[in-house]
Structure 1
């Protein structure tokens, strides 16, 4: 019986991935191993421009119009989030190759790509599942994917005054935030936007969400951590009558008066990891967490 060919769908940041010779080695590796290679269309054109010739692939795709055994993201965490939003309910494992700076999600160094592929073809790898949250804007339709691996932020749209966000959890009134916005973060997103506005760092498998206000009007409203199996409802008022919902950084315009509902999605994002990668060591290495910066 013939061995099944593995299918790979590849996303990338053309301005970053092209700088690394290991990426070209990756394509050569996949071709030599008879893998089926599909490339996101805009990234393919960037590759083609760099090569000044056609790149040998099995097909192109746009958005989530693909089927594969594995997804490879070549770029930073932003590219990884784009790939994750396209995978959504497909449950395809994602390999994040870090061509950016921090790389919490894109956690495979370019020099380790071939080693990771060796493990894939040998069936020896770790997969970590991460919680996804989703936004429901009622009758108001959203242009993009409503799901976020990192966070959903409700923000004022312009330089107008702060907005009012009345928050309820499972039908119980929590508080009304007077602030520039509110970040609802998964554990995965706790080291992203949420952290920059004072939110807590959360272990990936903790089963909780954090709500952190952005520039709150009062000092006695602090971040709060809640279970991830609840339903959060937000009623937002703004003097400009418009607000912004940022879903993993993808902006959606929302009209005032719409009741927003945020809850855990019925699926998870599956992230492939090299053996031995640990969350606390990543914190220390990527964020210099706990490092004593004093000079003696």
Structure 2
């Protein structure tokens, strides 16, 4: 089997997990390729000669991310629409996407070899804008969320919002988050949005610090096309796609809809989304119980 390894950071935790992972993969005769920037940062420490990659193709059987959920979001920009299954070793904090712990690496790889896992298909968002923008056009999709927010000001912005061509409202706020079910446990959740199970065919619109107290998160079908226009005191605003940020001029028309491809996440059979919720959000963790 041919496997790609990706990580962002040169820290002790990812390095320790990488060493264990390489040992297990070599024992099982995997063809291992490490993302070249990551390898440059750690090559002097692991003292091994390994194959590297700068971009992926469909010949890879799966990709392993070492880090937190942010690392997986970066890895998604490499996988794109290649249909390569992904799995994450968690060396971060929460880890809704990166669910394999350091001491579970060997068992996880054995489960993958034995096909003892299931695939969780994750919906993505795509974005297009009415004015040319290289940052957006080069990577116009997001796994967690697309958000518009204010730039260079403490003043609120107005986000005029249409759903399938029908006017919804103009959010007077610090911004607006459009989240997938996968992203519902991220930025949207911290702004008061609901948790959505991964298989739900839904998106959620969550305003960021709205001045209208009646403005509440709205769950919509994922077949709906969303159009946004931003106005405010500044001439520009920010658009973020997961962890990537672009600057747009006000009045630019933003179109957001379901992406034409999905991301495959490897889920081991001892993992469920509900179990992850209990562990990561500490649901039921009350000393009285």
TM range (shorter): over 0.9
Shift of 1:113: 1.4
Shift of 1:193: 0.3
Conserved? CA contact 2:151–2:238, under 8 Å? yes
**Helix, strand or coil for the counterpart of 1:48?**
helix
Question: Aligned in 2, Cα 1:191/1:129: closer, same or farther, shift over 3 Å?
Answer: same
Structure 1 runs (4+) deviating above 4 angstroms are 17-20, 63-67
Q: Where does the alignment leave 5 or more consecutive residues of structure 1 unmatched?
A: 1-5
1:247 is matched with 241
Per-residue Cα deviation, 1:49-93 (whole angstroms, up to 9, x for no partner): 323x3x2322x2225578511000000011011011211101100
Q: Where does the alignment leave 5 or more consecutive residues of structure 2 unmatched?
A: none
Question: Aligned in 2, Cα 1:67/1:237: closer, same or farther, shift over 3 Å?
Answer: farther
**Helix, strand or coil for the counterpart of 1:202?**
coil
Shift of 1:29: 2.2
TM-score, normalisation: structure 2? 0.93
Aligned residues: 287
State the alpha-carbon separation in 2 of the partners of residues 195 and 201 from structure 1.
Answer: 7
Shift of 1:288: 1.1
Conserved? CA contact 1:229–1:264, under 8 Å? yes
Question: Aligned in 2, Cα 1:118/1:222: closer, same or farther, shift over 3 Å?
Answer: same
The farther-off stretch of 61-70 and 211-220 is 61-70
2:264 is matched with 270
Question: Is residue 231 of structure 1 aligned with residue 212 of structure 2?
Answer: no
The one of 83, 86, 105 aligned to 1:91: 83
TM-score, normalisation: structure 1? 0.91
State the alpha-carbon separation in 1 of the partners of residues 68 and 133 from structure 2.
Answer: 29
The one of 50, 72, 80 aligned to 1:57: 50
1:126 is matched with 118
The farther-off stretch of 118-127 and 267-276 is 118-127
State the alpha-carbon separation in 2 of the partners of residues 293 and 139 from structure 1.
Answer: 55
Conserved? CA contact 2:161–2:170, under 8 Å? yes
Question: Is residue 29 of structure 1 aligned with residue 24 of structure 2?
Answer: yes
State the alpha-carbon separation in 1 of the partners of residues 91 and 99 from structure 2.
Answer: 10
State the alpha-carbon separation in 1 of the partners of residues 12 and 260 from structure 2.
Answer: 32
State the alpha-carbon separation in 1 of the partners of residues 127 and 8 from structure 2.
Answer: 26
Conserved? CA contact 1:10–1:37, under 8 Å? yes
